[in-house]
Chain A
Amino acid sequence: MFINVLNRELRIAARSPGEWLQPLCFLLIVMTLFPLGIGPSPGLLATLAPALIWITALMAVLLSVDRLFRDDFEDGTLEQLVLSSGPVWLNSLAKVCAHWLFTGLPIVCLSPFLCIMMNLSSQWMPKIALSLLLGTPILSLLAALGGALTVGLRQGSALLPVIIMPLMIPVLILATQAIASPASGDAYFLWLGALLSFSLTFLPLAIAASLKVAVSR
């Protein structure tokens, strides 16, 4: 069941590259503009870089999530997903995994490149990549929850960031602290990991419940 849904999502994503390339292009464009706007002072850029990378990644995930459930809602697949014989949370988790594979994972892979663009020395790269590796799945899960809550609403896409942004703030704080603090960074990474396992356990259930409400209108 999980594999079938994942397989389907990956197939669809592979056939519509525009949808998942758009947030990545957004990320690259914004990260190009920051050094130009802030000016060529390496010290200042290096101080700001972790936060800038993270905020842009967060925006990129938000940008990509509106379509996560909308197509399925409109063509009736979501009804079938809710009526399916398997657990809805597992199917939702498969959809989130596919979303992360096409949004979060590319961001993680791009992160060394982003570090170079922000003139960060190479010792930062593993930290930033690790924080994104732990953090972006949480962002995907949260964004999917927002998508599931707003999919049945006509003006849902306007509401989504408002609902989800506050929930993403802890992730942002933990991640940037993990990168910035030189000595005690490990503790923040552990916190980030704890948050990831918590979200991975409970958010699929919340997403499934929201989807059930969305189709029962």
Chain B
Amino acid sequence: MIDSPLILCHVRNLACERNQRTLFSGLSFRLEQGQILHLKGPNGSGKTTLLRILAGLFIDYDGQIEWQQDHRLIYAGHQYAVQGQLTPLENLSFILSLQGIAVARDEIYRALADFGLEDTRFSLCRELSEGQRKRVTLCRLSLSKRPIWLLDEPYSALDEAGAALLSGICEQHLLSGGGLVMTSHQAVPITQPIDTLELQPCL
């Protein structure tokens, strides 16, 4: 564990309204190094919107979000950002290059092998199954060393082995001092203590 965790992100009094409906208001929380924050709430309660606000993709909100030190983040949304006409290798090296990271081909191959995609590394992603494409996204998480991960329903479409792999890289990420915010309808099988943030539907 980290001895004195730094605060990565401090959110104060966050409120968001969409389509004349208040999703949440007066939301305050902190994200520290090594902390995992599990967003819970019924469908339509604003979990994805909250993640997108944190990612900087949605700017129509009230309140303050203070990022400490380096706030380079990864956002993995419902859409996998996996192009069907490219191989997993090409997809990964492109997405990583967008983040300004150059990863050697061998390292990507090793990551693909770790995630059980060894046999499919030369096939186009449109030939892969939903779960396999999700695994390509997981490779991206493990390869790009960024302190903050924002994951939207990361466990969906994954089989048991895939879920175990995901939990594994999340645990590693937390141990190395990263912060993690995720939404999930399932219980999160991660060994570290999980902080829950419940979003209640506002009336």
Contact = CB atoms under 8 A, between A and B. Distances in A.
Interface of A: 1, 4-5, 8, 11-12, 15-16, 71-72, 74-77, 79-86, 91, 215-217
A4 B99 CA distance: 11
A79 B99 contact: no
7 contacts: A16-B85, A74-B79, A75-B80, A76-B79, A77-B81, A79-B75, A81-B98
B interface SS class = loop
Given A75-B83, A77-B95, A83-B73, 16 more contacts: A4-B93, A5-B94, A8-B86, A8-B90, A11-B85, A12-B85, A16-B85, A72-B83, A76-B78, A76-B81, A79-B75, A80-B95, A86-B100, A91-B98, A216-B60, A217-B58
A79 B56 CA distance: 10
A15 B91 CA distance: 14
A15 B90 CA distance: 13
Contacts of A4: 93-94, 97-98
B94 A75 contact: no
A216 B59 contact: yes
Interface string B46-78: 000000100111111000000000001101011
B92 to A, nearest CB: 12
Contact of B83 (A12, A79, A91, A216): A12
Given A1-B97, A4-B98, A8-B90, A83 B83 contact: no
A75 B81 contact: yes
Contact of A83 (B56, B60, B80): B56
Interface residues on B, range: 20 to 34
Contact of A85 (B80, B82, B93, B98): B98
Contact of B98 (A16, A80, A216): A80
A81 B82 CA distance: 12
B79 A75 contact: yes
A82 B83 CA distance: 16
Closest 5 CB pairs of A and B: A76-B79, A84-B98, A85-B100, A76-B81, A4-B97
Nearest to B80: A76
Contacts of A8: 83, 86, 90, 94
A79 B58 CA distance: 11
A24 B191 CA distance: 57
Contacts of B85: 11-12, 15-16
Residue among B72, B95, B97 having the largest count of chain A Cβ atoms under 10 Å:
B97
A4 B95 CA distance: 10
B124 interface: yes
A81 B79 CA distance: 13
A84 B112 CA distance: 22
A216 B77 CA distance: 13
Nearest to B96: A4
Interface in B96-154: 97-100, 124
A8 to B, nearest CB: 5
Contacts of A15: 85, 124
A209 to B, nearest CB: 13
Nearest to B98: A84
Interface in B16-45: none
B57 A215 contact: yes
Residue among A4, A5, A74, A83 having the largest count of chain B Cβ atoms under 10 Å:
A83
